[in-house]
A and B are shown apart, each in its own frame.
Chain A
């Protein structure tokens, strides 16, 4: 009994199977999901930043789609109504793009959102030093910790940008419907709108992942000895 013990001990680098350290993907997904659940209110606040930024982005995009829908009817009164409501249209223009000003505001809001996400996750990492340290003591590798944080951010990103994109699209269509009446809604190109919403969701997930990279890296490099710290 003792002999085999030492034999194992000497073989600190035994065959591959025995020195395996793993965290199955399903398990990491489960842990991340539970972490979000346990800190639901905190996650909600982090996600709200994303929801707001993405809904603005989606609002601008879908608004442009709706304007194009109106233009495609070719009727002069809609054209004039659009120009009156602030769209810069050349006489021979048949489609509108978003204006540079809109684009800048959208980009700026997305940037602010990323900074907010980075900040929120950095706070979460410093708060969870004990949990991370303990996991490391139990044998977690740097990449397990990194994966947990990225998955968490990915889930928040998916939920946040879905809500944001749909809300933005809804408000854009609602405002067009109110301003131009039912024709604004009947001449929509739903394919374009779906594309815009999809882009907003994709962009939101990307931003969320971008924002968590640095905090996740910090977390993954945390030393196991942190778990021993008694006072904060």
Chain B
């Protein structure tokens, strides 16, 4: 047996959307394997099928054909309850818009997934405080989201994503609503946690700051995997990426 373990395997996945008269083929046969503990960036222009693939890896959408395995479980076979369980225990979500529950303070936001998972209140509190300490916000635990800055909110969201010790953290443009330095801090935090806790971080992004820390970059174009670049290949072709970003923004 191969000793590399894949936390996500995507095989021959297609996804089509029926928009009345026309069929839109968002994905046309994607194959992808993501190794445990890696930091992956999924890049691609809008309309490339990037978000569709990303949602499927996160168990938020089911493929039209093909298979998506998360931790060796085919998500198409799961019922609503099992999918909710998967989202609760196996996947931590981080959003572009932070998405903290506005009516709860930082600590309550972090403990909510643990409550769903059946953790007792006091155990959840303890672990929640530990996680907030981990992201450097233990002194802010009683603050409501609207009393926190964008970067702080995203830190709370990172702590919340880690609440049930997931195998995967799914980050959708985690730096999209943050300024340059705050974005870099969040990226560094994600990278550190990924390494320390052996969590696979998968992020969909336009942010080229992400590339420096990524173990692997998956380029999506026209519903197919354009190419998968590893870390070592990346550092050589930095100039190329720069050129690429210009051609894409143009």
How many Å from the CB of A164 to the closest CB on chain B?
26
A residues near B241, Cβ cutoff 8 Å: none
Task: Report Cα–Cα, A142/B80, bound state, in Å.
Answer: 9
- Tell me whether A225 and B61 are in contact in the complex, defined as CB-CB below 8 angstroms, given that A9-B167, A31-B104, A130-B97 are known contacts: yes
Closest B residue, CB atoms, query A138: B113
Residues A230 and B97 in contact, CB atoms below 8 Å apart: yes
Q: Which of A9, A13, A138, A228 contacts B71 (CB 8 A)?
A: A9
How many Å lie between the Cα of A133 and that of B99 in the bound state? 9
Which chain B residue has the least Cβ–Cβ distance from A144? B116
Residue on B with the closest CB to A130? B99
Contact of B172 among A138, A144, A228 (CB under 8 A): A228
With a CB–CB cut-off of 8 A, which chain A residues contact B55?
Answer: 225, 228
Question: Are the CB atoms of A19 and B85 closer together than 8 Å?
Answer: yes
Residue A139, interface by CB 8 Å? yes
Cβ contact within 8 Å between B103 and A134: no
Among B5, B85, B101, B176, the residue within 8 A (CB) of A2 is B5
A1, A8, A224 — which one has the most chain B CB atoms within 10 A of its CB? A224
Q: Which residues of B contact A38 (CB under 8 A)?
A: 102-103
**Tally of contact residues, A, Cβ under 8 A:** 41
Q: By the criterion CB–CB under 8 Å, are A139 and B89 in contact? A: yes
With an 8 A cutoff between CB atoms, is A6 at the interface? Answer: yes
Interface of A: prevailing SS: helix
A136 at the interface (CB under 8 A from B): yes
CA distance A131 to B5 in the complex (A): 34
Q: A139-B89, A223-B60, A224-B87 are in contact. Are A23 and B101 (CB under 8 A)?
A: no
Query: Would B118 and A20 count as touching, CB distance under 8 A?
Result: yes
- Complex CA gap A17/B89 in Å reads 13
Residue picked from A19, A23, A227, most chain B C-beta under 10 Å: A19
Contact A138 B103 (CB under 8 A): no
Given contacts A138-B93, A225-B55, contact A21 B99 (CB under 8 A): no
A100 lies within 8 A of chain B by Cβ: no
Distance in angstroms between the alpha carbons of A10 and B77 in the assembled complex: 13
Q: Is the CB of A134 within 8 A of B36?
A: no
**Do A139 and B5 form a contact, CB below 8 Å, given A6-B71, A12-B82, A34-B103?**
no
Q: Which of chain A's residues has its CB closest to B144's CB?
A: A38
B103 pairs with A35, CB closer than 8 A: yes
Question: Which are the 6 A-B pairs with shortest beta-carbon distances?
Answer: A139-B88, A9-B71, A139-B116, A34-B103, A38-B103, A225-B60
B interface residues (Cβ-Cβ under 8 A, vs A)? 5, 36, 51, 55, 60-61, 70-73, 78, 80-82, 84-90, 93, 95-97, 99-104, 112-113, 115-118, 160, 164, 167, 172-173, 176, 198
Known: A130-B99, A139-B84. 13 other contacts (CB 8 A): A9-B90, A12-B71, A13-B82, A24-B115, A31-B104, A130-B97, A131-B99, A134-B93, A138-B93, A138-B112, A139-B85, A139-B88, A139-B116
